[in-house]
Each structure stands twice: as structure tokens, then as C-alpha cells.
Amino acid sequence: MAIVEDQPLAGLEGFSGELLRPGSDGYDEARRVHNGMIDKRPALVARCRGTADVVAAVNAARVHGWEVSVRGGGHNVGGTAVTEGGLMIDLSLMKGIHVDPAARTARAQGGVVWRELNRETQLHGLAVTGGAISTTGIAGLTLGGGLGWLMAKLGLAADNLLSVELVTAGGSVLTASEDEHPDLFWGLRGGGGNFGVATSFEYRVHPIGPMITGGLVAHPIEAAGELMRFVRDFAEGAPDELMLITGAVHAPDGSGLPIAVVAACHCGTLEQAEADLKPVLEFGSPLMVQLGPMPYEAVCSMLDDGFPKGALNYWKSTFLSELSDIAVDTMVERFTSCPSPMSAMIVEHFHGEVTRVPLEATAVPHRQPGYNLLVAGVWPDADATDANVAWVRETYAAMQPFAASRRWLNYLASDDIDDVGVRAAYGPNYERLTKLKATYDPDNLFHLNANIKPA
């Protein structure tokens, strides 16, 4: 049910954060998320300052029958953080972070983004797998699994969770861990925002940095096919310390120059990284080489400029059954017709620790070695939306002969959040997740997500 404009906000009388209605100062900024395609107008934005505010907002929504969305970092490409005419529970003011270097743990609230968490953990030379784009929120990324630069060495962000504080649909505050509510803890590691509002996360952090080896090498677009085939063959022997992304992109300097790239993060010793990355540095005739020792924080932000806030985004993604020569050739051919000077086609290499976690250990089903393809349509002008959406869809269709039946949860566009897309994202864990949903959210209060219907 939508919130009537002048409806009393019963249940929110003691709310300590900000309650914003249309026309309030700060309302338009609060409702905007990273993807400029999303233009929804909540009837009320509840900007929470702590867990008690979240409880109050959830209880009010349940009592009044308001539709609920939950915003952490606001980076989700499908725009699930924003409701049209309902209540948006906004965690972006909840920025508390505590690092315990002796115990090698870090706890952070649900409004924290990876850049902020990395800054605090790196004070102690510690890190956990986080987003490849540093402005991504920790909440959405972790609940969806959490791939990133360290996943070959450390596993996903969700694999490094120790506990989650969660406000349930009934307004209860639970701590989920291996010892408390272990069934819920299993589902929170990959089940998305289906089971409640995650107000804080406790991670196991590891000695990484502050200096590691990373960066990228850019080649002429004419070398894209040759470069991707080289990376595919080279990656077969990659150590756990090395994460690779390759593909066809546009230079983020505003020139729109199409280029072929390989981006790398090596979290081992500088000496080991130099030896392991030597073939990458010696391959071909690059246009630019920016690969070497750098702060871990710099590696985590090096792709940020390619995905600026407010740009319009429409993505499609799928795991590949294999990165075959014909799949590479199809990628290169499709990129030549890209209508935007900001879009990209990239493949992320899955290997190492992320593939060693048993499929049933967490809700994340994607544990096979291989490649995840992302067709990222990014453009600045709303008048070009139809052409860019069409290019992404046609490119995704052209890649279907090489696609596996698995899709990464956090890459689902708004029109992919249907039964087919959701089942491809949760895979064989879907049925168990429906039973968990029936236990913790039987009325499906939290349904603006890659939704799991209660069993």
C-alpha cells in the first residue's frame, strides 16, 4: 500500500534520524541511487541513525501495509533500493566501523561503502574481499555473495562473514552466525536482501597491503581478441594471489577511445607478483602500462571512473561455459557496434579459494572455475537510452550460445529480476532459500530484491 501524502507517521514518533517526504530538503538527493536510470519517488524516506530506527521503520511499514525498499550503498544496478510510493529505509547515515587488529575482525554498519571500510582496515594492513568498484556498499555486495579483487585468495565477502545483525520482518533484532541462527546465517551469505535489514556485518580480515601489485595494461582495440585469448590461457596457471579481469572497454579519460585491457590485482609479495605478472607485461605492444606496486586502496578504486554516479546503466551478465575462441570473437564483434563511449564488455576470472568452498556451505551456488561475462551499458544522455538498452540486449543474446545456466545475483538488471533470472542466480540452493524465507519473512515484506517467494 502506498503512503498517503498527509498520512500520520504512527510508530515513528521517536525516530532519531531524518524522515523525508517529497518536497523536503534533501529528499531528491536521498532518493537518487548510483544508476541514473532509476527515477522512483518514495512517499517517505527514513534515514536511520541506528538499529532502533530500523526497527521502528520496519514495524511502521508492517502495521500500515507500506511497501518497503532498503538502501545501503545504493549501487544495485536494478534499482531495488527505491520504492515507488512506499517507504525507503535508508541506511546511508549508518557509518560506524570498528577494527580489532588483534582478533583480525572488522565490524561495519550497513551504510558503509567499501572505500570507507578499506580505509579503516588498511590502517592495520588488513583487508577482506570487497567490491571492484570502491563506492559500492558493503551490505548489498556481501548479501549477494561479494566478488572482488581478493576472492581467489580469500573467497567471497560472504565467505569471510562472522556474523550479521539483522532486523527481521517482525521487528526482531537477531545476530546470525555459525552459533546463532545458523540457518539464517547460511541464507544471508548469498541470499540477498530477502530475510531482513542487515544493520551491521562482522568480517574476518586478513593481512593484505598496504602495498600490493595491481593496475592495468591497455592495448589497441584491434588486439582485443588476441589479448583475451592470451589472458584465458595465462589464467589457467594463475596463483591464488592473482585476480584478473579482461575485456573491451572505453578509456575513462573522456576521450571514448575503445581499448582492450587486462586489469590485475596480485596480493602476494612484490617479488612474487613481479615474477607472476611478467608474461602480462611482455605480451603484445601495449598503449599504456600502469601495472606495478601500489596501495591496495588504489587498486580498489582504479575502475571507479568508468562507473560514475548518475550515469545511466543497463547490464546483462552470465557465466560462460568456456571462454572459447568463438566466444571471444563474438565479444569483439559485438563491441564494435557499441553506441556509448562509456560501455564495456568484461570477463572476470573465477579460480582459487572462491571455487573451493562447497556449494552447500553458503547460499552462493557459483563455485565452478571459469569466467563471468558482464555486458555493461553505461551512457550519460537519457535520449540515448533506447539505443544502449538495445545494444546490451542484442549483445547478451549473441553470447547465449556460450552461456552457462548461472547468473551473478548482483548483476541482474530490473527486467531480469523474474523467476527465470532469480533461479539462475540462486541455482540449486533456491528451494532451501524458499523454506528459509517462509520462516523469517512469510508475508514477503522484503520483496523489492531478487525475490525469493516463501515456500
Domains with residue ranges and CATH for the chain: 18-90 (3.30.43.10), 97-208 (3.30.465.10), 211-416 (3.40.462.20)
Looking at residue 413, its amino acid is: A
What pLDDT is recorded for position 10?
Answer: 73
3-class secondary structure per residue, the chain: CCCCCCCCCCCCCCCCCEEECCCCCCHHHHHCCCCCCCCCCCCEEEECCCHHHHHHHHHHHHHHCCCEEEECCCCCCCCCCCCCCCEEEECCCCCCEEEECCCCEEEEECCCEHHHHHHHHHCCCEECCCCCCCCCEHHHHHHCCCCCCCHHHHCCCHHHEEEEEEECCCCCEEEEECCCCHHHHHHHCCCCCCCCEEEEEEEECEECCCEEEEEEEEEEHHHHHHHHHHHHHHHCCCCCCEEEEEEEEECCCCCCCEEEEEEEEECCCHHHHHHHCHHHHHCCCCCEEEEEEEEHHHHHHCCHHHCCCCCEEEEEEEEECCCCHHHHHHHHHHHCCCCCCCCEEEEEEECHHHHCCCCCCCCCCCCCCEEEEEEEEEECCHHHHHHHHHHHHHHHHHCHHHECCCCCHHHCCHHHCCHHHHHHHHHHHHHHHHHHHHHHCCCCCCCCCCCCCCC
Q: Which residue has the higher pLDDT, 3 or 208?
A: 208
Share the mean pLDDT of the chain. 96
Question: What mean pLDDT do residues 164-188 have?
Answer: 98
Query: What CA–CA distance (Å, rounded) separates 21 from 340?
Result: 35
Query: pLDDT tens digits for 63-72?
Result: 999 999 999 9
Say if residue 30's pLDDT is above 50: yes
Q: Per-residue confidence at 13, pLDDT binned at 50, 70, 90?
A: confident
What pLDDT is recorded for position 4?
Answer: 47
Q: Per-residue confidence at 3, pLDDT binned at 50, 70, 90?
A: low
Question: What mean pLDDT do residues 305-332 have?
Answer: 96
Say if residue 368's pLDDT is above 50: yes
What pLDDT is recorded for position 258?
Answer: 97
Query: pLDDT tens digits for 208-245?
Result: 999 999 999 999 999 999 999 999 999 999 999 999 99
Query: pLDDT tens digits for 183-202?
Result: 999 999 999 999 999 999 99
Task: Provide the sign of the torsion angle of the four alpha carbons 313, 425, 165, 1, taken in this order.
Answer: positive
Question: What mean pLDDT do residues 50-57 have?
Answer: 98
The distance in angstroms from the start CA to the end CA of the chain is 23
Say if residue 178's pLDDT is above 70: yes
